[in-house]
A and B are shown apart, each in its own frame.
Chain A
């Protein structure tokens, strides 16, 4: 006989954003915001290629730091997006593992309309790699050694020198580049999936978003990929 669950207390406690649909909404919204940040971050990083010995990049970094409390607000927001993305991600993974405790002996895709790829299957793994990567990255750069330079009479941090110095180390440069391949996978599924999780797609937009996601993943991760490699081979130490 059917046992009807009409008790909604757990829902009331957990709240509407901690359901299978709600968590994905949180994950999608934070993910899209992080993608937005990545685009700005990439644009800044591309200043390395300006060929001006780091003037543009250092001035940009200096301007950001002049924002003071605003920068901290931005950092806190970013950390919040990052954490909510991770927490909802972990919750999703745990629930999904519980939902099928006995595995199939054989599993195959029927293809066709399926959107399942290495990218979609590896979201947790690529996410985990990025989770390790991001703090390392912050530690290496933001919290790295403080070199100083003077541009147009203004003393400021020489972030350009730090970047070049770091990427002259082959281990750093190539492991950075390698992580970007995982970022590419993460974004390729993440972008369209986020829009789908927010309910933004329909029959017309779904295939478009899917393609845009792949293109976006390749472009963003590609930009971040080229940076260490190019620096290692072509940019002289300042």
Chain B
């Protein structure tokens, strides 16, 4: 279909030597010259903050942007359960090799081997770094670090800080970042939203931001641009992401020529609170770590309305344990989510909406005592009680899957560079190392590996070949980009239609959830594409955006983001339609095994689908990066 050759720049040599060989062979920038380079880092989550801090430590001149009022609020903060690392502190047979293998398998053989191996390799350094920063991970009485197990793994390799692992790791990166801010190597620009990428002579050279307080459009020039702006699950309207999480930065980069990898690979997280009612602004995730001790079940009888404690053991269906005896409640997220959806579709669901399953701790409390459970999950139980008003120590939780993470994102090579020279994408913003499904406790690992250890090495290789040239924002390309952004803002404010931005977002979310959600089929996807196109047309005709351009204006911010989602949603559906197989989080109803499991088609789809923008979303062209498996031979994923 395409002539474009995507060079992933994977180093030669055996997989275990690739990264060290690469590190030894990349070009370096001398310490004295580093401060002459300006690097723009957009985003201050785990990937962005760790990258900005580390680049600052190295001596680069870093400009770091975030949409929040403080870098500490980036949505990495909400990750609960933990971070994987192949430390093998538990002596349970873990190794870099096994983490690599689990991640490739968990991703259903749709990730790049070399990247995943490097990720597993670096996982151990992340834990060292975080502990040195003062991250208060859970510990054993002897003072050593504690671990728990997580979905998709048969070893205990997950490090955690109560249910606030993401927060603690982010605060570690944030404190390193603030140290560099104080040292003057990093300049921080909070309350800024990147609205365009500036490309000069084919290279990413700057960004256009809107100052979210004054509404002013600001421009910044640099020698490289790093996007660490997170994922796009909010395209579903209701998701576990923060209400301000958005795709705008990567989407506008896509429209400027960066290719987009596997847009349809989204993860639906199995353990979230079920949707409760109108006006709901987000779905709350309960850490997957709960599946360590909680048992998932539904009544054996359809439409059983008895309260859970009145349902005897013999009339309960522990469907995960029944269907997947080897992994039980710890099957990967995509499998757990789909299984929950399946039992609810068949009418076994519980709760007022019938769209929920029980997550029961009674056995664990009996076995370990209520204190141990409180210590492990206290804050999660509290959170559940806050929201639902029910006490999970006494009655089982009700959970249901919700959009959570997007494995897709900007396509990057082994150096994390996109198809635009000088433009990098880190963390959830890139198409990443998780293939078609991310294992629990691996997002934190990837964000930090990218930011602390990978980018700071690989960016030097690029910069060494591109000496500072004194570019300023006076270059006409900046004025042109500002004009474009300004035109869009003016247009949004001038429509003065009848429907609010939120209504459009809600409608888009419905389309996405119904047709591009947990299970997909050709007919539904085609409908989604035409529905989204129609909704987008209506948006640009009838949206109502209030307030001024030159002011603090949340409605205007929101409108820009939803405008982008209305395009991204279409690309996601196109990609899902194009991928005629089931793999990981992407489940095409047409392609399943007789017992309802995902049916991969390695002969046809063992590739990354890489999309190139051609002026209209519908004209986007799909390229392929073939995936070669030399070390982790694809097999039908089985957790039975």
Which A residues are closer than 8 A to B by beta carbons? 1-2, 4, 6
Contacts and interface: CB of A to CB of B under 8 A. Distances in A.
B187 A1 contact: yes
B189 A6 contact: no
Contacts of B181: 2, 4
Contacts of A1: 187-190
Nearest to B188: A2
Nearest to B63: A1
The 9 closest A-B pairs by CB, nearest first: A2-B188, A1-B189, A4-B182, A2-B181, A4-B181, A6-B182, A1-B188, A1-B187, A2-B190
Contacts of A4: 181-182, 184
Contacts of B188: 1-2
Given A1-B188, A1-B190, 9 more contacts: A1-B187, A1-B189, A2-B181, A2-B188, A2-B190, A4-B181, A4-B182, A4-B184, A6-B182
A1 B184 CA distance: 13
11 contacts: A1-B187, A1-B188, A1-B189, A1-B190, A2-B181, A2-B188, A2-B190, A4-B181, A4-B182, A4-B184, A6-B182
Nearest to A6: B182
Contacts of B190: 1-2
Nearest to B70: A2
A232 B182 CA distance: 66
B284 to A, nearest CB: 23
B326 to A, nearest CB: 45
Contacts of B184: 4
Nearest to A4: B182
A6 B179 CA distance: 12
A2 B192 CA distance: 12
A2 B189 CA distance: 7
B37 to A, nearest CB: 20
A2 B44 CA distance: 15
Interface of B: 181-182, 184, 187-190
A4 B177 CA distance: 13
In terms of DSSP, what is the predominant structure of the interface of chain B? mixed
B628 to A, nearest CB: 46
Contacts of B182: 4, 6
A2 B190 CA distance: 8
Nearest to B182: A4
Contacts of A2: 181, 188, 190
Contacts of B187: 1
Contacts of B189: 1
A130 to B, nearest CB: 43
A1 to B, nearest CB: 6
A4 B188 CA distance: 10
A188 to B, nearest CB: 34
A1 B188 CA distance: 6
Nearest to B191: A1
B473 to A, nearest CB: 16
Nearest to A2: B188
A206 to B, nearest CB: 22
A4 B178 CA distance: 10
A55 B186 CA distance: 77
A191 B259 CA distance: 67
B434 to A, nearest CB: 34
A6 B182 CA distance: 8
A158 B202 CA distance: 100
B220 to A, nearest CB: 11
A41 B545 CA distance: 73
Nearest to B189: A1
Nearest to B190: A2
A5 to B, nearest CB: 10
B467 to A, nearest CB: 28
A74 B181 CA distance: 51
Contacts of A6: 182
A6 B183 CA distance: 9
A4 B182 CA distance: 6
A6 B184 CA distance: 10
A50 B595 CA distance: 97
A1 B187 CA distance: 8
A238 B181 CA distance: 76
Nearest to B211: A1
A47 B190 CA distance: 68
A112 to B, nearest CB: 15
A1 B186 CA distance: 11
A1 B216 CA distance: 13
A1 B209 CA distance: 13
B327 to A, nearest CB: 42
B207 to A, nearest CB: 15
B41 to A, nearest CB: 15
Nearest to A5: B182
A25 to B, nearest CB: 26
A129 B223 CA distance: 66
B634 to A, nearest CB: 49
A8 to B, nearest CB: 12
A2 B187 CA distance: 8
A6 B189 CA distance: 18
A1 B189 CA distance: 5
A2 B184 CA distance: 11
Nearest to B187: A1
B227 to A, nearest CB: 20
B516 to A, nearest CB: 39
A2 B71 CA distance: 11
B485 to A, nearest CB: 20
A4 B184 CA distance: 9
A104 B190 CA distance: 28
B568 to A, nearest CB: 30
B301 to A, nearest CB: 45
Nearest to A1: B189
A2 to B, nearest CB: 5
A1 B213 CA distance: 11
A43 B149 CA distance: 65
B219 to A, nearest CB: 14
A1 B182 CA distance: 13
A172 B204 CA distance: 84
B239 to A, nearest CB: 31
A4 B190 CA distance: 14
B179 to A, nearest CB: 11
A216 to B, nearest CB: 37
A2 B181 CA distance: 9
A50 to B, nearest CB: 58
B64 to A, nearest CB: 10
B580 to A, nearest CB: 50
A189 B376 CA distance: 38
Nearest to B184: A4
B425 to A, nearest CB: 25
B222 to A, nearest CB: 16
A186 to B, nearest CB: 39
B181 to A, nearest CB: 6
